[in-house]
Chains A and B, each alone.
Chain A
Amino acid sequence: MGRPALRLRWGRALAPYLLVLPGGAWLLLLFVLPIVTLAITSLQSGDFITGFVFSWNFANYPLGLQIYSEQYVHALEYGGSATIVALVVAYPAAYWIAFHAGPRKSAYLLAVLLPFFVSFVIRTLAWETLLSDNGPLLAPLKAIHLLPEDVRVLATPVAVTGGLAYTFFPYMLLPIYASLEKVDRRLVEAAGDLYANRYQVFRRVILPLSIPGVFAGVLLTGIPAVADYVNQDILGGVGTTMVGRVIEQQFEVNTNYPLAASLAFILMLGLLAMLLVYQRLFGTEEIMGG
């Protein structure tokens, strides 16, 4: 009699730890360790040939900021605008799917997600082809003189921002959709009973309840968009380099690992600081739209 009870108690006590073990090990191995390594690397000095030595070399940080401040600004600029564009496009779409798509909801969601089963590099390359100066999008417009001959979309900030917004679109749409889906329809009715018009229902009931989804969507889109280095490479041109690409170049081409690491760290800390401010302003207890 005693033994099963004992086992049960042991199991009870261990359960939370066992449950957190896979996730914890994952975080430790694939997040904490790399971050620590990165921090150590960013304080090294030396060069690739002689090897890098740890020396509390904080000089990497001001140096990186000084040379590449413009590229940091680009990253915030394009990443930020892309996030806003994605939000403006995704919110109405998510709203419509959640409230008006009826039984075909899953079909529409699938339609949104379907393109994202293809590698995003391939999709970006496809945009490069579509947006080409005499490509299928611009050539007809130029032919009927809606656009002047020398207008281009590729190799401009517009292409980079659009590409980023497109790449991370589902990360914006899905959390917003999930939070809208959870809005209790009876609340909408109740608001109507209290003489709210459609606009007021949206502004005072639906929108506040969907904020957790928006919050999550902005994070999931904004962070990778700011750090991106592929989009700008394919769709950008002169003067559109973001810091992500600088980091890549410093790492691969100049093999200046400490500088690359410090640039990456500045980006991470900057994002973290903005994240905290953002959470203070708009944050909710339940980040994932619970």
Chain B
Amino acid sequence: MTRERDLPRYVEPSFLRGLTASRITRRDALKGAGALGLGTFLAACGVGGSTAPSRVNWVWDKATKTGQLDFANWPLYIDSTQDASGATTHPSLDQFTKDTGIKVNYSEPIQDDPTFFAKIAPELKLGQATGYDLMVITNGIQMTNLQLKHWLVELDPAKLPNFFQNAAPRLKDRSYDPGNRFTIPWQSGFTGIAYNPSLTGREITSFEDLFDPKFAGKVGMMDGNQDTGNLTLIGMGINPQKSTPKDWQKAADKLKKQRDDGIVRKYYDQTYIKALSAGDTWISMAWSGDIFQANLSAGNDDLKFVIPVEGGVIWTDNMCIPVGAAHPLDAITYMNYVYQPAIAAMLAESIDYVTPVPSAKDAIDKDVAQTTDPAAKQSLQATAGSPLVFPSQSEYAHSYYYRELTPSEAGQWNDIFGAVILT
């Protein structure tokens, strides 16, 4: 999944105030525009948050079940098998249709957040339907834009009992969507380092390994400045959430030196994985689940993924309903459905990113007990035991979400890191 999360410049708080119905005081606005991050900022402006919010795009009084669902997802991001005729099927979707009678029209149009956003924005702007009832968007700038533009349907908590019962506690408190008003997680993942031990000649543990002159021209970094910027801050021992523009400049200088010394081969998008597999890069910034998938499709165990000792980045892809969706009730039914441990387990067994349902582990363990085929058993055990699917406290403890950026900070961040990466 390509993630280019460069940040645009946001709104003047005063303008947002004018946009929103609820009146707030100047002090609230200043508080919101302070260092408390976007969540607070939105809350203060009445675009989300706890103080008697006005409903945004509330469709649940009129929505009825239609028996159809148009689901837009990323490639390789759901369980797939081949049926007898060779066609691809998705068992979890078939199960959903069996249980609810809702037919899923599943497609994979999302190659990365920015391009998908650019594709649907014109329709949303004109108030037309996008043709999708459910889409999966990463926490980041496009998610922010969707919320600021009021392009998402507010969710009805009463229709999501499984989520509130089974989701990992940390997912019920996400700064980019306080109180899960518009989104609930699909999967999460880590940004860390992938490497090929036979080429690097040693095990990789540290962020500093990306700067080793021995690997000159064989290092891949990411072209999304959120990933690269945040991982660098963490690598320098700075908590992104507490970082200042001074720190960003320091991080950018470090990256610039790495670039000018010829250590970086390229700033990659999704294609970093191809370069790693081909041996063009020996060590590269990477997303956790991709490496598992790459080894699986190559039929070997060449690549390894590690969260550096200094810490990694954690991100979450979220299900949300765009405004104008024709089948919102079917969409929210599905969102609730995948929070059953058994279904979450089905997905986790083949996606290998971080599942939002911790109790899916028990369901997988049950599958392990029932499986007789040794190869399948081993694969299931690997999933159940993988710290990248069921991270322990220690993985979480030194992984950080992207730095929350207020409007003026976002522009700065963009300029500082864009100057290094886009050359």
Contact = CB atoms under 8 A, between A and B. Distances in A.
A134 interface: yes
A128 B217 CA distance: 16
Contact of B259 (A47, A238, A245): A238
Interface residues of B, number: 34
B266 A253 contact: no
Given A49-B11, A49-B149, A133 B259 contact: no
Contacts of B117: 252, 255
A256 interface: yes
A238 B278 contact: no
B15 A50 contact: yes
Nearest to A255: B8
B154 to A, nearest CB: 18
A254 B6 contact: yes
A134 B10 contact: no
A241 B420 CA distance: 12
Nearest to A133: B280
Given A49-B145, A238-B265, A252-B114, A129 B278 contact: yes
A50 B11 contact: yes
Contacts, number: 80
B8 A155 contact: no
A156 to B, nearest CB: 10
Interface in A127-176: 128-129, 132-135, 150, 152, 154-155
Contacts of A71: 422-423
A203 B283 CA distance: 54
A155 B145 contact: no
A236 interface: yes
Contacts of B217: 150, 152
A238 B219 CA distance: 11
A234 interface: yes
A135 B145 CA distance: 42
A151 B404 CA distance: 41
Interface in A58-86: 70-71
A279 interface: no
B81 interface: no
A251 interface: yes
Contacts of A155: 265-266, 280
Given A238-B265, A238-B267, A238-B423, A254 B414 contact: yes
Contacts of A245: 422
A48 interface: yes
The 4 lowest CB-CB distance pairs between A and B, nearest first, are A237-B266, A252-B114, A253-B6, A132-B278
Interface of B: 4-12, 15, 114-115, 117-118, 121, 145, 148-149, 216-217, 259, 264-267, 269, 271, 274, 278-280, 414, 422-423
18 contacts: A47-B8, A47-B10, A49-B11, A49-B145, A71-B422, A71-B423, A134-B280, A154-B280, A238-B423, A239-B423, A241-B423, A245-B422, A249-B4, A252-B115, A253-B114, A254-B7, A254-B8, A256-B8
